[in-house]
Amino acid sequence: MRVRVASFAAVACATVVTVVSAGCGSGGFTSEGSQGAGKQLFVQACGGCHVLADAGTAGTIGPNLDDAFAQARADGMTSATFAQVVAGQIRYPIAQTSTGEPGMPDADTTLPRCEDVEGDAFCVEDQDRAISDIAVYVGAVAGTGVTAERPTDGKTIFTTSCGSCHVLADAGTAGTVGPNLDQSRPSKELAVDRVTNGRGAMPAFKGSLDPAQIEAVAEYVATAAGR
Ligand code: HEC
Ligand code: HEC
């Protein structure tokens, strides 16, 4: 994992140098990011694809960020260095991986600017600021071994693991990758199946949510959707 993190830093740096004439050291992030804002933004923009224990997110499309950084942290890499790696990853993700697996979407997709977004879908007023906030937050918590309590409440699980892809008014979420659940109003049975096994662009959560959590989130969706 150490090698992997290092290679990300290298990729990000190479891109920074060629695209922007900024020095590589900054990784495009300012150390003034706010961790509180960063956590909220992470849940909305990133948690649907990444496990991060501190944020309680359970996405499985991208790597588990605690696992990705734990070894490097144990080897002495600092939070500030991680923050640079994360900022570089958000700005310059590998959208097309060598294995042909889908990579990570670019910043205009994960953190769309409000001027480019219609309606009340998730967006950020200041993308640079949002990247700094998320980078500082993830840099501080990823791989620390500090695990938040696994959420057991269906609404909390929904907000942290599902809302980035689904509209559900009761939860205040506005993701547009998957169906609007207020409109489709799925049964609990269907929700259990989709969450457990995934389908199409929806990832399976059976490896990152336990059966009780799947039950809870499915129950929540079936009762809250369309209200
Ligand atoms: C649609 C899914 C998706 C979203 C949303 C997403 N990522 Fe990713 N992310 C991925 C995938 C897939 C990879 C692995 C491919 C790659 O390495 O680029 C990845 C890789 C990463 C890595 C490198 C991990 C490692 O092993 O070194 C970091 C850090 C990261 N993402 C952070 C974020 C942050 C922060 C956000 C929110 C701004 C975010 N991701 C949003 C899918 C996503
Ligand atoms: C990365 C985006 C993404 C995430 C995260 C995600 N979904 Fe989905 N979801 C989708 C997509 C896309 C579909 C449509 C799948 C298909 O039928 O091809 C879908 C379908 C569904 C359906 C079926 C809806 C219908 O009427 O057909 C339910 C229920 C559902 N998701 C619930 C959830 C829950 C609960 C979570 C969190 C545990 C979640 N989703 C997380 C993208 C996502």
213 occurs within a structural domain: yes
> Distances from the Cα of 186 to the Cαs of 181, 190, 211, 226, in angstroms?
7, 6, 19, 10
Among 141, 170, 196, the domain-final residue is 141
| Ligand 2 centroid distance, CA of 83 (Å) | 30
Q: Whose CA is nearest to atom 41 of ligand 1?
A: 46
Whether 88 is covered by a domain: the verdict is: yes
Q: Are residues 86 and 191 in the same domain?
A: no
Please tell me the distance from the alpha carbon of residue 33 to that of residue 207, in angstroms, as a whole number.
32
Residue 159: both structure tokens together: 């907000």
pLDDT for 148 equals: 60
The answer to whether residues 137 and 170 belong to one domain is: no
| Burial category of 117 from C-beta neighbours within 10 Å (exposed 0-12, middle 13-18, buried 19 and up) | middle
Give me the pLDDT at residue 19, please.
30
Residue ranges making up the domain that contains 23: 2-141
Q: Which of 1, 46, 86 to mutate to test the pocket of ligand 1 (most atoms within 8 A of CB)?
A: 46
Regarding whether 183 and 82 lie in a shared domain, the answer is no
- For residue 27, what pLDDT is reported? 44
Kindly state whether residue 16 falls inside one of the protein's structural domains: yes
pLDDT in tens, 19-43: 332 333 344 455 566 778 899 999 9
Give the pLDDT score at 102: 74
What CATH number is attached to the domain comprising 188?
Answer: 1.10.760.10
What was the pLDDT predicted at 32?
Answer: 62
Residue 147 domain flag: no
Say how many Å lie between the CA of residue 223 and the centre of ligand 1: 32
**What are the 10-residue block averages of pLDDT along the chain, 227 residues in total?**
35 32 41 79 91 89 91 87 93 80 87 88 91 94 76 90 91 90 97 95 87 96 92
The 8-class DSSP code of residue 144 comes to: S
Task: Please give the pLDDT value at position 154.
Answer: 95
Give yes or no for residue 213 CB within 6 A of ligand 1.
no
Q: pTM of the prediction? A: 0.65
For residues 91 and 110, what is the distance between their CA atoms, to the nearest angstrom?
10
Residues 13 and 98 in one domain: yes
Within this chain, do residues 127 and 158 fall inside the same structural domain, yes or no? no
**Contact by Cβ (8 Å): 22, 16:** yes
